[in-house]
């Protein structure tokens, strides 16, 4: 779920929408779209090693372990763990790879970096503008506790924040998006999913939701076959496009 693939904003064509008439609610991914999870994890790993190549190896291990274990849980190959518990497990794997598997404090500190995250510079202002017209729903793979902490620390504005923990799964599993659709109480074609990950938007499309891609570095960009309703360079442009 956290793959990084090269891509450009012109890899697809917009399907223009009239947001005032076509969209009743906005649903937002959080990790990587509104807050910088990559920077947070890299900061934590930087406490384990000062070697750049080793830091990149450990970062890749974090990404791989998290992605693999989320997929295994969605496939029923292992019992479900909420994201904060998985973060602790992943921190243990990474610390062990760094030769610090016996350092309980280092493992705990690394796990905390997964949700001690700063917002992107345009996130707060963009949400504030959009909240004047639309109901805003967060839908995150972060656990309930993590999502609460992220929201408070980053100053994000929601009308409702949902963790996929409620469905005991992770995006892009369809039951995750069903949480947001049930909360919105609107048909999927009138709900817009906003994310910086193409895989997340494909998951939303599988349930008939409308989609908006916002570019963030080091996140999966659209591929040549992707078709999303809106494409924006950042949240400033997204707000401009949706508010007119």
> For residue range 85-107, what is the model confidence (pLDDT) as tens digits?
999 999 999 999 999 978 899 99
d(CA 80, CA 59): 23
User: What's the pLDDT score for residue 7?
Assistant: 38
CA 229 to CA 138: how far, in whole Å?
19
Residue keyed to tokens 């693999």: 68
Q: Kindly report, residue by residue over 41-56, the tens digit of the pLDDT.
A: 999 999 999 999 999 9
What token pair was written down for 140?
Answer: 């995150």
Q: What is the pLDDT of residues 117-144, one digit of tens each?
A: 999 999 999 999 999 999 999 999 999 9
Going by their DSSP bridges, the two strands 210-214 and 136-140 should be labelled as: unpaired
pLDDT beyond 60 at 40? yes
The structure tokens listed for 185 are: 């109480």
Q: What is the mean pLDDT of residues 180-186?
A: 98
Token pair for residue 112?
A: 């905390």
What is the model's pLDDT at position 18?
63
- Domain topology for 9-36+117-243: Rossmann fold (3.40.50)
Name the E strands within the chain: 25-28, 136-140, 160-163, 191-195, 210-214, 230-232
Given a cut of 60, whether residue 68 has pLDDT beyond it is yes
> Chain-wide mean pLDDT for the chain?
91
Q: Please return the burial class of 112, using the count of CB atoms within 10 Å of its CB with bins 0-12, 13-18 and 19+.
A: middle
∠73-75-81 over CA atoms, to 5°?
10
Over residues 158-165, the mean pLDDT reads 98
Q: Is 228 helix (H, G, I), strand (E, B) or coil?
A: coil
């Amino acid at each position: 779920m956290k793959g990084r693939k090269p891509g450009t904003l012109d890899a697809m064509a917009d399907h223009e929408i009239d947001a005032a008439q076509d969209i009743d609610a906005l649903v937002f991914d959080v990790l990587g779209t509104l807050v910088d999870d990559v920077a947070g994890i890299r900061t934590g790993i930087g406490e384990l090693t000062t070697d750049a190549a080793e830091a990149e190896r450990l970062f890749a291990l974090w990404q791989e372990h998290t992605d693999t274990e989320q997929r295994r849980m969605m496939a029923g190959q292992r019992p479900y763990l909420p994201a904060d518990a998985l973060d602790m497990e992943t921190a243990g794997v990474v610390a062990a790879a760094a030769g610090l598997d016996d350092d309980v404090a280092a493992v705990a500190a690394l796990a905390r970096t997964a949700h001690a995250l700063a917002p992107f510079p345009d996130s707060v202002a963009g949400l504030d503008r959009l909240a004047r017209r639309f109901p805003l729903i967060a839908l995150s793979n972060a656990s309930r506790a993590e999502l609460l902490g992220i929201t408070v620390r980053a100053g994000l504005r929601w009308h409702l924040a949902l963790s996929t923990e409620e469905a005991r799964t992770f995006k892009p599993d369809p039951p995750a998006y069903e949480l947001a659709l049930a909360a919105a109480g609107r048909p999927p074609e009138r709900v817009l999913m906003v994310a910086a990950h193409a895989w997340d938007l494909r998951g939303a499309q599988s349930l008939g939701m409308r989609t908006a891609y916002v570019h963030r570095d080091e996140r999966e960009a659209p591929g040549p076959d992707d078709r999303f309703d809106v494409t924006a360079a950042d949240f400033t442009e997204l707000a401009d496009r949706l508010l007119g």
